[in-house]
Structure 1
């Protein structure tokens, strides 16, 4: 009922989105009229059918009543996509804050969750070969031996379940080849002394057993300069392996074993000081060669990828796991699927918090996570009237974390006693240790009923029980008023999620659907640098309503997929940097209500046999509709500021964020690509140009001007040659060829009025060489 009441007041926004839908539809009609094709020509070339597993069964992309962007291995190669984050510019309404792997935020349709600690889960789930990857540090997966990536937008609360309230990334790796031995070797060299190499091999081991192995390595020199010690920073060293075995035990029984391991080490450049006023405790960021940092408010681009920091900065991660898949076809045509998996996701990092050549503040973080999952599904046989699937899911996860932040003590306080009874040394520390044990159990059901030849009803339902127990201990020996404390809270949540959809066939090549979905994400904890023992937050829920259209037009040469949606969140979990009466800290609160209205459109067209055009657009209007006290207590902030320094302060005591744009949620995302292939000698020469755009965002819910991340657009180019026998290829490429060192993320320490930013590394370019055997 609340949704129906809200809609009339948003009519102007609805009209805006409908206008975009009409524009995209107009493009498809224009293409259809400008490039007519005879029946003979249509048989000669057309777009290939895309098969997805968005509902855990193989289906045509055009038949699934879900907004899905799918990328096959050939398309990933053409795009030069090496890891998951490379897809962000191509997927409408997908966003990534560029903050690395450990503390970054990636999301869909306005829900971008920056997960700083083990108590906060992402609103987007990521899966590899149907196995949940666990903590977000594992989400950015290499794509060296991937068969297909599917990005599902909107709540996926039935079949994917846990933490897919905004959407899911579904990665499928290549299966072992039972027929013949084959392989691919690839090498890349590029600027910043980039050297990448990968090798994939697969083939039969016995009559019934096939195997595969994939190894890869990626290395890069530093892309930023630290003037404190003269070193280049932001290096990368990544190595990994994937293994697979597939055993056809009988005509009806198949077993698959998959294992993967990734180790990545980076001299990570997390952020640099972007703006600081002339306060006693806020010295300038640079000295010597760079001079003094500008104090021009909102400058946003003082010295991209340049800094002067005395503390080590690094980010290391280890992620991996193993899984056993059993597929058993019963005599009655039904099928049983069992997926047993174990995964790890660990990282440690160091960050110079003050970004200056002084002993101001430095942090060392370390997280580790181990998870066991078991999924069991029973699937009906396909028939003319219906199909269904019923299943059980279990997760047991243990996550541990340590946090240690050193803080310099003002000289006049050295030797004094803090609130916890510690004698203040020149350098103090706030440290914490935490452990969270999570167990989740779910039962789910999904079905499709063909009501008549043109109309299909899809129903999905999932019941989830989830419990979390935490042990947390914090010790503070600094001059701040953060308490030393020990606490052991627990959470028990249960919820029903699911979806209902009607899919109507308009013609042989087009359909429309309408759906309603309910998603759920359990409550959690905030084991960070905290002001009190009250560090829990409640679960969040969402209702999403969607109207979609899918069509293959012009005899299969033009594909148009579009969706119009409205999303209504209740108790949305929001992370923010807050100032309390004991100091600055990261807080997680529930915004009582938030709404997102949006549109998505994707077009793929073969204008000629050799010319392909792609385009996508995503628009969202997001706002907190009920989020009070999001800026902290006004009296506590004023008292804290007046006791620490003198001078003007940034007004952060916002009592309400109502009407503000959601964190890291761009209003507009868009992309376009043109690809042309021509015969040269006995092979093919392919030219490809890509463009991607993201509008401005805010890095926190208060929408302060200084935490606005500006809009950006990038252009990528690629030209490649494939030999006539298709055994080797070579390609030259450039990404962000305009060399735009744009701002990707920003954050603020309100009490000192300091703004920190992370920037893109600028242009990258290189050459790929590939050999197939």
Structure 2
């Protein structure tokens, strides 16, 4: 009842918010005249042709200087617009403007405040106007372009342009493809944050993790493990899971429209990116499965035939950072062009790992410090190259081919040991105690020091409560902490990681006619990470891991976009397959030998989808979408690991398996399982344009994260069942969202707000069993709710200010019995900071000898937890990060010199961590679980500076 009443209360608040938004919008638009809106579809072309096309589509008679207009290139305009807005958008940046005469004729003339270039001065002042009679149809393009990122530019500063007749500095339109067609961001009924290439550079965004500071209600950190640097757990509005071989992420990642199934070494270093879009909330209709939290879209720059251009940049920074990047766009005649870009980035780490001799828990006295030197954690040595070809054999047909390769190497993430608790450890050392506690193979008992473990001794030790600590470890760990300071840790082995990524994609776009466009998008992705990790970061060989991973994936999508009068629609089919393979080995809680685990997954998905928007009136539209998906998965697992008991007081004689194992060698085990899941997802939305500058919407949508199988297959014994390869079901999220979009002060201020409520069913959770094995289950139901508010203000032509606030809360509503030992009904949800905000200030000073641009941004987030399970979560304290950049460019912009800083205030913070000490929230139960007994945290990157020089050509 508590969950139901809370849901009703929150839904009531959301309805109140919707009514408030609609009434406010109505009041704001009461005084403004509602003009006719037209359907406009004009590609980029010279202004004279564009004006003729606009006249034909709107039926408006136009007069314009033909010679002057034909020397200008007009912007593309697509959508439903008023006449003046369409004209403003189309002529933005051309030096032309238009106004209606008393008789309704549209007069085009030179903008009085526009800068006159060399081409303008060559045009005679007595140019005669040529009349062009036309029909009547539509026109609404412009002011939408004056807007910029809706719920989208939290920290991103908007671009500016000079407004038509008034000559005012206004915010420029940002075009996004959040609904798989180009649209003005202010007209999209989705909460989106978008950054263009210039903003990405000014904000210092060099990889996916950097978005964490600049996008509210987004959390990008490591998962609840100590894996490689590029293990990314993306969470939007609290919804997110870490993708592993047997689990899928809840936030979809797309590179040039190609789906990336695992956020592991996935071309995360930005390379020649055109823009980035972050979509909040379930995107189950157009993007499908595994987007319950949202989606992140990278769109790269495409080749063009206009001219040869390029640049090369080189720089040096703190911790011996050396970076070189370059790009070249090469036309191959009038119908083809290639674009090649490359980068190299090398930087030292910031946490010293003081390596000791290899020592096991059975012989900790063998450890010696500093005998193997020191390695730096948090370093990287990355490089990549990308090449793309654009071929246009006909005006209606475009073919884009892209290939990319990246390689990331380093010593792994900057984790360090911050606490330990030996009382939480399971039995160590003496073989009979080890098998009684279930942490060693029977085969190892026979060869371990101290003789053979008999059945009688194993039974006695099990019933009498085995001593859980080895006193010899105490001085070892005490000594380790004695030699550590804030920048050091003491590991037992050297860490290492290498990740290679290959990507091939082909996109074919065909304008069938003026109403229909067909697009085929094919993608192949190969990701091969290799990790050596000291998971516990203690000088003892306790939980070391070697992971060799490979994933090949293929995707094919065919889309048809229709745009005719009042109806815009998208329909398509999607196919995806992947074959991830992982081999993991390492020590297991101090046992003398290693375990081996090998898994292979064959996954296949097919989907059919359609979504359409229909304008009931000139200012009211409705959107409906539906997607049907079928997922097939087959998992095969092989395990040869320690024998583990599920009950500390078990009788080995009662289990025939353990009797056989004590009397003989360990028995490797393997198994496989497969299943099919079918899901339907939908979206419904209503939009109302109170004026050309004010829009409100309400959206309901659904999404799901795929079900799968557990992959940890090891020998176990005891009274509980063997979990082995058991399935878990899909996770589903229902969203209810209301949004308000507005552009004020003649296009200089943009104010947007979004409120939402999300109902979460069957949340997937990785649980840790008393014997240490991990398995995924549907832990229960939860709900999250909150808001995003952002404002962008073009203060002057040279000064821009942006701010955004994210408010977020949530709670469990039901808990499944099988996880009640690790989660309470009032447990905190992971990655759910209740407040995030971002600020950005951008100023450009134009000088006689060039320009100086200064950018400062600051992002802050409140406390959050690293994991849902209380048995291993840590609290990540609130922190704020500042970035800054100052750049000088010559008048011709051929040369530029820039100085930038990251974490400019040198804030101490952590990204993630795990706590296995048994001293977290639920202490009594946690201690009984037999935790590994250590706590590690990933230290955030300290203050860094970078000086670079750029030469453009």
Structures share a fold, TM > 0.5?
A: yes
Deviations 1:555-582 (A, max 9, x none): 1111122210000011111224x132xx
Q: 1:1-400 residue pairs with structure 2 within 5 A?
A: 6-10=6-10, 43-98=167-222, 100-115=228-243, 117-139=244-266, 141-228=268-355, 229-269=373-413, 271-277=415-421, 279=423, 280-281=469-470, 283=474, 291=482, 303-331=485-513, 333-380=515-562, 382-400=563-581
Decide whether the 8 Å contact of 2:856 with 2:885 is kept in 1.
Answer: yes
Indicate how the Cα distance of structure 1 residues 169 and 676 shifts in structure 2: closer, same or farther if over 3 A, else same.
same
Task: Report the counterpart of residue 33 of structure 1 in structure 2.
Answer: none
* Corresponding residue SS for 1:230: strand
Take 1:97 and 1:344, find their aligned partners in 2: how far apart are those partners? 23
Q: 1:381-530 residue pairs with structure 2 within 5 A?
A: 382-407=563-588, 409=590, 427-477=592-642, 484-528=668-712
> In the alignment, is residue 747 of structure 1 matched against residue 914 of structure 2?
yes
Take 2:16 and 2:409, find their aligned partners in 1: how far apart are those partners? 45
Decide whether the 8 Å contact of 2:204 with 2:902 is kept in 1.
Answer: no
Decide whether the 8 Å contact of 1:322 with 1:343 is kept in 2.
Answer: yes
Decide whether the 8 Å contact of 1:3 with 1:568 is kept in 2.
Answer: no
Decide whether the 8 Å contact of 1:429 with 1:478 is kept in 2.
Answer: no
Runs of 5+ consecutive residues of structure 2 not aligned to the other structure: 29-161, 356-372, 424-468, 647-665, 717-722, 919-930
Take 2:194 and 2:838, find their aligned partners in 1: how far apart are those partners? 15
Task: Report the counterpart of residue 97 of structure 2 in structure 1.
Answer: none
Decide whether the 8 Å contact of 1:628 with 1:657 is kept in 2.
Answer: no
Aligned with residue 611 of structure 1, among 769, 789, 799: 799
* Corresponding residue SS for 1:433: strand
Q: 1:561-640 residue pairs with structure 2 within 5 A?
A: 561-576=752-767, 578-580=768-770, 583-629=771-817, 631=819
Decide whether the 8 Å contact of 1:668 with 1:695 is kept in 2.
Answer: yes
Take 1:754 and 1:631, find their aligned partners in 2: how far apart are those partners? 22
Decide whether the 8 Å contact of 2:14 with 2:755 is kept in 1.
Answer: no
Runs of 5+ consecutive residues of structure 1 not aligned to the other structure: 29-37, 294-302, 410-425, 633-652
Deviations 1:147-179 (A, max 9, x none): 111111111111111311111111110010211
* Corresponding residue SS for 1:86: helix
Take 1:493 and 1:702, find their aligned partners in 2: how far apart are those partners? 27
Decide whether the 8 Å contact of 1:447 with 1:458 is kept in 2.
Answer: yes
| Structure index of larger Rg | 2
Aligned length: 712
* Corresponding residue SS for 2:170: coil
Measured after TM superposition, the shift of residue 246 of structure 1 is 0.6
Measured after TM superposition, the shift of residue 604 of structure 1 is 1.4
Take 2:476 and 2:791, find their aligned partners in 1: how far apart are those partners? 47
Measured after TM superposition, the shift of residue 719 of structure 1 is 1.3
Deviations 1:618-656 (A, max 9, x none): 111122211234657xxxxxxxxxxxxxxxxxxxx44x4
Indicate how the Cα distance of structure 1 residues 308 and 753 shifts in structure 2: closer, same or farther if over 3 A, else same.
closer
Take 2:551 and 2:784, find their aligned partners in 1: how far apart are those partners? 32
Take 2:796 and 2:165, find their aligned partners in 1: how far apart are those partners? 10
Measured after TM superposition, the shift of residue 511 of structure 1 is 0.3
Q: 1:578-727 residue pairs with structure 2 within 5 A?
A: 578-580=768-770, 583-629=771-817, 631=819, 653-654=821-822, 656-703=823-870, 707-727=874-894
Take 1:328 and 1:225, find their aligned partners in 2: how far apart are those partners? 55
Task: Report the counterpart of residue 636 of structure 1 in structure 2.
Answer: none
Indicate how the Cα distance of structure 1 residues 284 and 267 shifts in structure 2: closer, same or farther if over 3 A, else same.
farther
Deviations 1:237-256 (A, max 9, x none): 11111110011011221111
Take 1:160 and 1:44, find their aligned partners in 2: how far apart are those partners? 39
Measured after TM superposition, the shift of residue 7 of structure 1 is 3.2
* Corresponding residue SS for 1:92: coil
Deviations 1:703-725 (A, max 9, x none): 46971111111122221112111
Take 1:272 and 1:369, find their aligned partners in 2: how far apart are those partners? 29
Indicate how the Cα distance of structure 1 residues 427 and 210 shifts in structure 2: closer, same or farther if over 3 A, else same.
same
* Corresponding residue SS for 2:536: coil
Decide whether the 8 Å contact of 2:733 with 2:760 is kept in 1.
Answer: yes
What is the TM-score when the length of structure 1 is the normalising length? 0.87
Indicate how the Cα distance of structure 1 residues 201 and 744 shifts in structure 2: closer, same or farther if over 3 A, else same.
same
Take 1:727 and 1:275, find their aligned partners in 2: how far apart are those partners? 53
Measured after TM superposition, the shift of residue 670 of structure 1 is 1.0
* Corresponding residue SS for 1:111: coil
Specify which structure has the higher proportion of helix. 2
Indicate how the Cα distance of structure 1 residues 84 and 104 shifts in structure 2: closer, same or farther if over 3 A, else same.
closer
Decide whether the 8 Å contact of 2:669 with 2:713 is kept in 1.
Answer: no
Indicate how the Cα distance of structure 1 residues 529 and 685 shifts in structure 2: closer, same or farther if over 3 A, else same.
farther
Q: Which moved more, 1:328-337 or 1:143-152?
A: 328-337
Take 1:351 and 1:324, find their aligned partners in 2: how far apart are those partners? 37
Measured after TM superposition, the shift of residue 10 of structure 1 is 4.3
Task: Report the counterpart of residue 732 of structure 1 in structure 2.
Answer: 899
Indicate how the Cα distance of structure 1 residues 55 and 706 shifts in structure 2: closer, same or farther if over 3 A, else same.
closer
What is the TM-score when the length of structure 2 is the normalising length? 0.71
Indicate how the Cα distance of structure 1 residues 3 and 65 shifts in structure 2: closer, same or farther if over 3 A, else same.
farther
* Corresponding residue SS for 1:137: coil
Measured after TM superposition, the shift of residue 113 of structure 1 is 1.8
